[in-house]
A and B are shown apart, each in its own frame.
Chain A
Amino acid sequence: MAEWKFTAKDFAQIPERFSPGHRACAGCGPAIVMRLIMKAARGPVIATNATGCMEVVSTIYPYTAWKVPWIHTAFENVAANAAGIDAALKALKRKGRLKYEHVDVIAFGGDGGTYDIGIQALSGAAERGHDFLYVLYDNEAYMNTGIQRSGGTPLGAWTTTSPAGRVIPGKTQRKKPIADIMVAHEIPYVATASVSEWKDLVLKARKGMEVEGPAFLHVLAPCPRGWRHDTSKTIEIARLAVDTCIFPLWEADNGEYKLSSRSKVIAAKPEMKKPVEEYLKTQGRFRHLFKPENKHIIEEIQKEVDRRWQKLLKLCGIA
């Protein structure tokens, strides 16, 4: 992460670049991510969003919450947006027509626009080595269109297109390991973050901006409406995701994995790792798993989490 030293009070005095007055739901996790990451900007920024919750709530014409230059084009191409901006900045700089030393390009995509429809553009932009930070704000479903499942929806979760029915109890597929896929692209920096560990998130975002070349930041951002929890619990639930190792926090500098924040602590003190049930019981989207006939799915989830956690520990050179 970045070598940026600041206190909470320093951070509080940084101006908001993602303004209030946006139309996100009360308690929206992704909105917190937008605010924090825009505060982490180190200089001139051009931002771009994929179609999705954050794009819609922040730019309902004629209002805009963005204090930086911003463009939205379509759903599946925010990485291509960033690539085009990066190419223009490079060309203009080379021809002496850019008045800035450097401009950071930040692309924001939801899990829908990243895991599924957006992965082609993301993969292409990563392969070509454009200089941009891609932030995936993961609320684990196509929330803006009404909570439909995406490649980022976890195993067992209820969504409107993977409902908990009599025959099929929620999503039967596992969550696509998108961050590992990006590490496999061999880009300079990949990291996971949770909206609950704000300083870790901010430092990783800053690092992503500083790195030359593509950087990918996967942020877990709970959605009270889609996950079916009280609006006040957003941060608490994000923290539980980390503490159960359902969403471990790590970064990969040129492919070298390293644990961070609470996940690092848990690796050193395994007794602090909480059982997945503690996380699942907080959200209505997992409620059906607590029926006797579905209890085996909770066990399956625990096994999956443990497997991926062990795999991560190995990649980090621990265990």
Chain B
Amino acid sequence: MAKVEQKVLPLSGDEAVAYAVKQCDVDVVAAYPITPQTIIVERFSEYVANGEVDTEFVCVESEHSALTCCLTAAATGARVFTATASAGLALMHEILGVTSGCRAPVVMAIVNRALSAPINIHCDHSDSMAERDMGWIHIYAENSQEAYDSIIQAFKIAEHPEILLPTLVGLDGFVLSHTLENVNVLPDETVKNFVGERKFPLVKNHEGKMVPFKLDPENPVTIGPLDLYDYYFEHKRQQEEAMKKAYDVIKRVHEEYAELSGRRYGNGLVEPYRLEDAEIATVCLGSTAGTVKAIVDELREKGVKVGLLRIRVFRPLPMEDIVKWLSDKKAVAVMDRACSFGGIGGPLFHEIRHVLYDSPGRPPVVNYIYGLGGRDTPPNLIRQVYQELQKIAETKRIEQLVKFIGLRE
């Protein structure tokens, strides 16, 4: 496939997401407004009101109902999308597990925002990190362009008959959602053909027939039964299997899309930046990577061998890629925009450290918790991180495993 011609539009992250959804021929969108996701639903409502999309837009009365409606609409055979943030995601929490358990391919944009209390509308990753274990695929975008690209890819990943796992795409609240960027958009036809039509795998129903997995009076299925201790475990193992298969599907979809758009984000799972010969490295998610890359370039000019590993896909956790890129480093700093209270560090730190425990190099790994509640992350903070990493690499000693940076003591 040849790279297609794209036009450049000035879009904010939220607008880019809405635009992507518009192009994907989504059947049902059920959503509830919450800052900083509001622009997504507002823009999409305009598309609906102007007849630019043929979508049933349901203005539900809560986020819990938003995800519920998406789940049952997907079970009925529709392509669905929703978006939320922070408290809205927390309210939906129960249904996130149900959506994954019912294998409904819902695509959801999370405009990452801090959880309460106190209430805060600005960026951090605590909202989606609290949903790590719910059986959803997590993709984190560095910029609005990637948010646009990832939403389109998400439909194809989630709806893949061997996956059928709901997928969330995280974009940083206000930093990306409300900032204008030049976004390259694919032509409508290209996107429509790329995502294609939903396919339904066959399942055995109670009549003993193999029928398409959807709510269809002609071929009835019962979804969401009561499991006792004799089968729940097996059903959960099935979800884990889908996660295992997701690595390949995500990489393939990423590659297929890259051929059309000309844009790649590493191998789709992780994006290494100047890591090949790096001696020390940081790891982070989302928009902070942009700042880190700038500092990496600055330090490289000075001859310091630094690099960054941006995690694009957090679930399923790309263990192989993380080990491949970080095992031989002299020191690694994981930057967390979320904190697991009482957990000795943030969630990303826990995962990276655990994955590197058995790696051949087993580098020292430290944690920097930053940016909670939208606390600005200026370049100096990153310089500080690399400085301290250098010291750890030289002295081979960790003075403080977990540090809060950008915090007023």
The interface of chain A, by Cβ under 8 A from chain B, is 44-46, 48, 55-56, 59-64, 66-74, 76-77, 80-85, 87-92, 94-95, 97, 99-100, 103, 120-121, 123-124, 127-128
Contact = CB atoms under 8 A, between A and B. Distances in A.
B217 A87 contact: no
Given A87-B73, A88-B28, 12 more contacts: A46-B217, A60-B226, A69-B217, A71-B223, A73-B72, A81-B68, A87-B78, A88-B76, A88-B77, A88-B78, A121-B62, A121-B65
A103 B76 CA distance: 11
Which 5 A-B pairs give the minimum distances between C-beta atoms?
A124-B61, A84-B72, A84-B69, A44-B217, A88-B76
Given A56-B226, A91-B55, A121-B61, A73 B220 contact: no
Given A71-B72, A121-B61, A97 B77 contact: yes
Given A84-B68, A88-B72, A88-B77, A95 B215 contact: no
Given A61-B228, A80-B68, A124-B65, A89 B76 contact: yes
A2 to B, nearest CB: 20
Nearest to B220: A69
Contacts of A103: 217
B231 interface: yes
Contacts of B225: 59-62, 64, 72
Contacts of B68: 73-74, 77, 80-81, 83-84, 121
Interface string B43-71: 00000000000111011111011001111
Interface residues of B, number: 45
A238 to B, nearest CB: 27
Contacts of B75: 71, 84-85
Given A68-B217, A80-B68, A100-B217, A46 B76 contact: yes
B31 to A, nearest CB: 12
Contacts of A74: 68, 94-95, 98
Nearest to A70: B222
B319 to A, nearest CB: 32
Per DSSP, chain A at the interface is mixed
16 contacts: A59-B226, A61-B228, A71-B75, A71-B215, A72-B224, A83-B58, A84-B58, A84-B71, A84-B76, A87-B69, A90-B56, A91-B28, A91-B55, A97-B77, A124-B60, A124-B61
Given A91-B28, A91-B56, A77 B64 contact: yes
Contact of B215 (A60, A85, A121, A127): A85
Contacts of A84: 28, 30, 58, 68-73, 75-76
A82 B28 CA distance: 13
Interface string B211-254: 00001111111111111100100000000000000000000000
Contacts of A68: 217, 220
Contacts of A80: 60, 64-65, 68-69, 72
B206 interface: yes
Nearest to B59: A128
Contact of B102 (A63, A73, A92, A124): A73
B222 A85 contact: no
B27 interface: yes
Nearest to B222: A64
A72 B223 contact: yes
B28 A87 contact: yes
Nearest to B207: A67
B71 A76 contact: no
A58 to B, nearest CB: 8
Contact of A55 (B65, B71, B206, B226): B226
Contacts of A91: 27-28, 54-56, 73, 78
Contacts of A95: 27, 54
A97 B223 CA distance: 22
B224 A83 contact: no
B57 to A, nearest CB: 9
Contacts of A48: 72
B220 A70 contact: yes
A64 B220 CA distance: 11
Nearest to A48: B72
A91 B222 CA distance: 22
Contacts of B55: 91
B28 A73 contact: no
Nearest to A82: B72
A85 B72 contact: yes
Contacts of B228: 60-61
B224 A123 contact: no
Contacts of B231: 61-62
B236 to A, nearest CB: 13
Contacts of A88: 27-28, 56, 72-74, 76-78, 80
Contacts of A59: 222, 224-226
Interface string B10-23: 00000000000000
A89 B215 CA distance: 10
B158 to A, nearest CB: 16
A317 B227 CA distance: 50
Select the residue from A55, A60, A67, A71 with max chain B CB neighbours within 10 A. A71
Nearest to B217: A44
Contacts of B56: 87-88, 90-91, 94
Interface in B69-101: 69-78, 80, 94-95, 98
Contacts of A94: 54, 56
A110 B338 CA distance: 40
A130 to B, nearest CB: 8
Contacts of B102: 71, 73
Contacts of A45: 217
Contacts of A66: 220, 222
A265 B70 CA distance: 46
B256 to A, nearest CB: 24
Contacts of A44: 217-218
Contacts of A90: 56
A120 B64 CA distance: 10
Contacts of B220: 66-70
